[in-house]
Structure 1
Amino acid sequence: YATMIFFVCVCVCGQSELSSSSSRVRQKLESLLNKNMRIRMTDGRTLVGLFLCTDRDCNVILGSAQEFLKSSDSFSQGEPRVLGLAMIPGHHVVSIEVESDTLADTQGFGGSH
């Protein structure tokens, strides 16, 4: 299952003193580096790619990104468009999901039956 993340922008970049909550946010963001993410945008597009970085304005950089257009047919997403490196402005982010890393992360795989 994908883990839903509510992307809360906390300006930890450039601070000289970090509170324990800011430190936890930084650690969480660092743990997400190079994870596959699905970002839904305000215009209906969805981008999928590797989370490379973010900034204090909540802009997100994805590597090896693919774009999926909003489909009028709810059963079909259509063919993706390969973007490569993509920057998503923070004010256009609606939601972010972290996708499972391996088959073992999904229920029903990797465990005893």
Structure 2
Amino acid sequence: MEKSQSEDYLKALLNENLRITTLDSRMFLGLFKCADSDCNIILAQTFEYRIPPPPKNVGKDSVTLDMTSRYLGLVVVPGEYIKKIEVEEFTSQMKKRRKPRHDIDIK
């Protein structure tokens, strides 16, 4: 993707809900405000979700784990720890668009 296309894509994402997964399995859900050349991302009105550790004495029975969350507000997610970036949309929003958005996998 060329630089001008990348800039246009990022501008289109401003104030969209992004779901960012980090290398330590945390997930941040918030409004995209900006990014810098080091791929650090700033989110506003952000919630952090953590997957709880699995119970120690689990047999063959299935166990449902609830993700714990907390409100953080304005957050900088360091680019070096980002594993995956997703745009969170409702079905009604997806139907209105012609071109599909793609999730971004950071490798």
Compute the TM-score of the two structures, normalised by the length of structure 1.
0.69
One of 31, 38, 46 as aligned partner of 1:50: 31
Give the unaligned 5+ runs of structure 1: 1-19, 108-113
CA distance in 1, matches of 2:4, 2:46: 28
Render the CA deviation track for 1:53-112: whole Å, top value 9, x for unaligned: 000000000000000012335843433100000000000000000011x451257xxxxx
CA shift for structure 1 position 21? 1.5
Provide the secondary structure at the position in 2 that maps to 1:80. strand
Q: 1:91 and 2:80 equivalent?
A: yes
Structure 1 residues 106 and 25 mapped into 2: Cα distance closer, same or farther (>3 Å)? closer
Render the CA deviation track for 1:10-30: whole Å, top value 9, x for unaligned: xxxxxxxxxx81101100000
Q: Determine the structure 1 residue equivalent to 2:49.
A: 68
CA RMSD, aligned part only? 2.0
- Does the CA contact (< 8 Å) of 1:68 and 1:77 recur in 2? no
Q: Determine the structure 2 residue equivalent to 1:7.
A: none
Q: Determine the structure 1 residue equivalent to 2:92.
A: 104
One of 73, 78, 94 as aligned partner of 2:67: 78
Compute the TM-score of the two structures, normalised by the length of structure 2.
0.73
The alignment of Structure 1 onto Structure 2 pairs a total of residues equal to 87
Q: Which runs of 4+ in 1 moved over 6 A?
A: none
Give the unaligned 5+ runs of structure 2: 55-62, 96-107
CA distance in 2, matches of 1:88, 1:68: 13
CA distance in 1, matches of 2:42, 2:18: 11
CA distance in 1, matches of 2:76, 2:48: 12
